[in-house]
Amino acid sequence: MTLSVLLSRAGLVSRVGSRSMFTSSKPDTANPNWLRVGLSFGTSAFLWCLLFKQHNTYMHEYKVRNGLE
């Protein structure tokens, strides 16, 4: 490859890399997206419930196997 081809590719990569594919906007803190907030909190609560249920199941199995219950 010649130097001019390498330089033109480097210029293309630098131009493409410097442009953003997506337009960003500042989040509106005065009016949050309540659907996304609800889904986030609901998902978090669901995962915590699964974690506690799994922990209780494991503890019960541990106690049964070791004759503690």
**pLDDT over 60 at 6, yes or no:** no
- In a domain, residue 39? The reply is yes
* Domain boundaries, position 51: 34-69
- In a domain, residue 62? The reply is yes
Its pTM stands at: 0.56
Domains in the chain: how many in total?
A: 1
**pLDDT over 60 at 54, yes or no:** yes
Q: Which residue has the higher pLDDT, 31 or 28?
A: 31
Q: Which of the four pLDDT bands, split at 50, 70 and 90, describes residue 35?
A: very high
Question: How far apart are alpha carbons 37 and 44 in whole angstroms?
Answer: 11
For tokens 């922990």, the residue is 55
For 23-41, the DSSP string reads: ------TTS--HHHHHHHH
- In a domain, residue 2? The reply is no
Q: Which of the four pLDDT bands, split at 50, 70 and 90, describes residue 22?
A: confident
Task: Please state, rounded to an integer, the average pLDDT across all residues of the chain.
Answer: 83
- In a domain, residue 68? The reply is yes
- In a domain, residue 28? The reply is no
